[in-house]
Amino acid sequence: MSSGAGLHLDYLTLAEFNAAQWPGVLGVAAFGSSFQETAFPVAAVHAPLLGETAPLFEVWRVRDPVDTGVQGSVHYTRTAHVLFGSLSIRGDLSRATERAYQEMLDTLDALGYPHLVRVWNYIPDINVESDGTERYKQFNAARLAALRARGRPITGNVSAACALGAPTGGPLVVYFLASSNAPSFIENPRQVSAYNYPPQYGVRPPVFSRAAVLHEPDRMTLFISGTSSIVGHQTIHVGDPAAQTRETITNLEAVLAEANRVTRSDEFTLESLACKVYVRDPSDLPAIQAQLRSALGPAARPVYLQADICRRDLSVEIEAAATVGV
């Protein structure tokens, strides 16, 4: 992602991270390993890397030194305009979700970052039925309840987000970015907004925007939510991971076009994206990689993770971020 004073994203090995010695690390998501005793927040994401020989770390940083702190279960790092936080909570999923979102929102209110921009959620046994309801649907209901209890919107101006599976017995892991500046929220014209899904996907819908744009003085950062082979509100190409990947790419292109329209830019492109790709069945990886190489070009370096996805009939989900100068 581009240079400058604002937000940066890098995917690095531990050796690369240690060599960089950056002063302004906001936070890290660790895949396949973890940091020890860090000043900044680390989200331990228990999703195995695919096609990598060494652990990778998703590093969010700025050029300048940052302030760090703890509020309840939230470990956070912040600048004057951006806050990164992470937390993990064990126990009953509904109660853990409500508590996680309540503590996250309490932190934003207490520290003065009113705008939740992007949230990553990793849910143990996301597709498992318990107490008569799929756990993803339980999560959605609890998230909505927590947002509503804090007077937060549940349609329209809601954060970009994703929700992926995590191993049995693990905690709910959440990490997030918030801002003192209002972002632009983006929807996909090819899809029903998630918060308007019909009841067949759960009594309470998922509350997220398809993307969000964070505005900084020297740049804009686009956060694309987890995106899959959904048109309208229906999954298509069930059982065909290559076709699902192509449809997902078409959805990414639609979101990029809408982001460019909203921001009056033409710089958000497929080639500008840093992509994180979740693959349900590792045996599908070659087919998915082939489609992405064709679409993104040879210079792209997507990160591939094995994880269950919010719908059982989805084989692949892609999230992405891109930064352009202003």
Pairing verdict, β 274-279 and 316-325: antiparallel
Given the residues 103, 216, 317, 319, the one annotated as active site = 317
Contact 45, 29 (CB under 8 A): yes
Question: Does residue 58 have an active-site annotation?
Answer: no
Encoded tokens for 58: 């998703």
What CA–CA distance (Å, rounded) separates 125 from 129? 9
Q: Do the Cβ atoms of 209 and 225 come closer than 8 Å?
A: yes
Strand order across the 211-216 sheet: 49-50, 303-306, 274-279, 316-325, 219-227, 211-216, 184-186
CA distance 100 to 163: 14
For 217, counting Cβ atoms within 10 Å of its Cβ (0-12 exposed, 13-18 middle, 19+ buried), the class is exposed
d(CA 73, CA 10): 26
Residues 6+ apart with CB under 8 A from 11: 56, 57, 58, 59, 274, 301, 303
Query: Do the beta carbons of residue 96 and residue 172 sit within 8 Å?
Result: yes
List residues with catalytic annotation: 317
